[in-house]
Amino acid sequence: MKAIFIAFDQAYYERIVEMLPRLGCRGFTAWQEVQGRGSKTGDPHYGTHAWPSLASAMMVMVEDDRVDSVLDYLHGLDLDTPKLGLRAWVLPVERSI
């Protein structure tokens, strides 16, 4: 099992949540309003007057064989609208209860 941590512009939230069951992924935890700035490109998401947008984040638990399909979908979203900002990292799940 893997955990995929996704940080993204809030505009992506509904699309990502709707995509998960279509790809056979059920479990996730989402944080609706997070602040941050990408390490390579993109505008800050601080929720301030100067930088009014906010980001969201999500941790999705997936079986190993579903990781590529989730990442491919997310990469497609990012390519379609690169100015919004979307990044994902895959982490091993060592143990769960």
Domain annotation covers residue 60: yes
Residue 31: exposure state from Cβ atoms within 10 A (0-12, 13-18, ≥19): exposed
For 18: left if phi > 0, alpha if psi spans -120 to 50, otherwise beta; the answer is alpha
pTM: 0.89
Half-sphere exposure of 51 (CA within 13 A, CB side): 13
The CATH number of whichever domain residue 62 belongs to comes to 3.30.70.120
Domain annotation covers residue 52: yes
- Structural domain harbouring 64: 2-26+47-92
> Which 8-state DSSP code applies to residue 31?
E
| H or E segment to which residue 28 belongs | strand 28-34
Domain annotation covers residue 15: yes
What is the C-alpha separation between 48 and 30, in angstroms, rounded?
Answer: 22
Q: What is the pLDDT along the chain (97 residues), one digit of tens a residue?
A: 999 999 999 999 999 999 999 999 988 999 999 988 876 777 787 878 888 788 899 999 999 999 999 999 999 999 999 888 899 999 999 998 8
Domain annotation covers residue 18: yes
What is the C-alpha separation between 46 and 54, in angstroms, rounded?
Answer: 6
Domain annotation covers residue 34: no
Domain annotation covers residue 82: yes
